[in-house]
A and B are shown apart, each in its own frame.
Chain A
Amino acid sequence: MAKITYHTHDNKTQTIDVQNGLTVMEGAIQNDIPGIDADCGGGMACATCHVYVKEEWLDKLPAKEDGEEDMLDMAFEPKNNSRLSCQLIVSDELDGLEVNIPSKQG
């Protein structure tokens, strides 16, 4: 279990206990956090679960797999701290992770 904090673009913050093994995307979807569409359902085939990771977490997260950066090219306003939340699998190590959800996904 890890506490994941989601900051939505309307400046609301929600901290959710997400079970290990789920993704940061699923944590948002299951808890009705707005702004993460996840159109392809976690297949790294769209870029609508795009989030900005709080800077201090960037190096602590597992590295991007092939394809994630390619998909991020398609994301709405990608930045250096952009990740696809479907690729962030929750574990104890991610306890305290904070992500910002962009104003829109496309």
Chain B
Amino acid sequence: MNKTDVLIIGAGPTGLFCAHQLGIIGLSCEIVDNLDKAGGQCIELYPDKPIYDIPAVPECTGEELTNNLLKQIKPFNVKFHLNERVEQLKKNQNRWHVKTSGGVEFDVAAIVIAGGVGSFEPRKFSVKECEKFEGNSLFYSIKDKSIFKDRTISIFGGGDSALDWAIELSNSSKVNLIHRRDGFSGAEASVQKVKDLNNQGKLNLFTKYQIDSVSGDKKIESIKIKHDEGEIKEIKCDYVLGFFGLIMQLGPILDWGLNINKKTIEVNTENFETNINGIFAIGDICSYPGKLKLILSGFHEGALAARGCFKYAKPDEKLRFEFTTTSKAAQERLGIKK
């Protein structure tokens, strides 16, 4: 059981800055995120795209913003729990017990949901029967590539993940790469490599095809793919891999009894608390009249929510407003030596 003052759900810019604000006022926190790294949409959707509307930062990329925020919270030694999605929530007297998908448990005084548009999860095939084989012969990510050795693999997608795995697995497996069009979004060098491998007969490339059906008893035995013009091909294979990027899903938070409206959580604008005492929501996931989905708004919301958490974490103490320029306590927490 991880005992801390505040659990932050979501390691995007808003969640990271909220951790900073909690640290400044002397509260501890830990952060959970379903991605394998901090940064949220900034790192997953647009790491290289410049952002021009962070106050006092004329231009920075999503990756730079994330790295700077991580640097800013370094003094507080915030513990991250990545690749974890929050699932169960239980009230225990004045505290909350939260459990994640991987079984990590937290005992906290308050919760700040900074979940953006939800947790990132792989986009799946639209064909219904695919569900049946998921996790046994159909995957959206690879944990153990050794299972593919000397087998026939059908890979779907046109981005870097699909291309990289097609190239890598073609060394020791029979690989079919299937993509909906002639163009690819992956790196040019990888596209060329895939085409070369196809020409050398080391990989079979099918473009303008999409999945039509999968069949098999316990495991996948064959799939059918359909050309843009209607022609259907049957391919025997042992495994199917789909790489269609990630989609954001609100997930189990939906069942926590929060007031949810169009995938956002209603909050008050005084301290960004939700309809449940001790649970706050900030950033893209919160809604209130006039809400702007900007990173700078998330920073403001995080600063107020952090202060809102104080009375739950330290009910017997009074929070005094202080500036980092002059507060000895804040400077000590930041580890500043004079």
Contacts and interface: CB of A to CB of B under 8 A. Distances in A.
Q: Do A and B come from one complex?
A: yes
Interface of A: 37, 39-41, 43, 45-48, 69-70, 73-74, 76-78, 80, 105-106
A73 B157 contact: yes
Interface string B209-250: 010000000000000000010000000000000001101110
B53 to A, nearest CB: 13
Given A45-B46, A69-B183, 6 more contacts: A41-B293, A45-B45, A46-B248, A74-B123, A74-B159, A106-B124
B45 A46 contact: yes
A84 to B, nearest CB: 14
9 contacts: A39-B117, A39-B118, A40-B45, A47-B245, A73-B179, A76-B126, A77-B126, A78-B180, A106-B249
B46 A43 contact: yes
A46 B228 CA distance: 23
Contacts of A105: 247
Interface of B: 41, 45-46, 49, 117-118, 123-124, 126, 157-159, 179-181, 183, 185, 210, 228, 244-245, 247-249, 263, 293
Contact of A69 (B118, B181, B249, B293): B181
Contacts of A43: 45-46
A43 B116 CA distance: 15
A70 B126 contact: no
A101 to B, nearest CB: 15
Residue of A40, A69, A73, A80 with most partner-chain B CB within 10 A: A73
A80 B210 CA distance: 12
Contact of B41 (A40, A73, A76, A78): A40
Contact of B247 (A41, A48, A80): A48
Contacts of A46: 45, 247-248
Nearest to B248: A39
Contacts of B210: 77-78
Interface residues of B: mostly helix, strand, loop or mixed?
loop
A106 B123 contact: yes
B214 to A, nearest CB: 15
Contacts of B245: 47, 73-74
Contacts of B117: 39-40
A68 to B, nearest CB: 11
Contacts of A40: 41, 45, 117
6 closest cross-chain pairs (CB), A and B = A70-B185, A106-B247, A45-B45, A74-B245, A39-B117, A77-B126
B184 to A, nearest CB: 8
B159 A70 contact: yes
Contacts of A41: 293
Given A40-B45, A80-B228, A106-B123, A73 B180 contact: yes
A6 to B, nearest CB: 17
B300 to A, nearest CB: 18
A2 to B, nearest CB: 25
Contacts of A70: 158-159, 183, 185
Nearest to A74: B245
Contacts of B46: 43, 45
Contacts of B118: 39
A48 B41 CA distance: 14
Nearest to A29: B262
A41 B183 CA distance: 26
Contacts of B124: 106
A105 B126 CA distance: 10
Contacts of B263: 37
A46 B263 CA distance: 16
Nearest to B62: A45
Given A39-B117, A39-B248, A106-B247, A73 B45 contact: no
Contacts of B244: 73-74
A73 B158 contact: yes
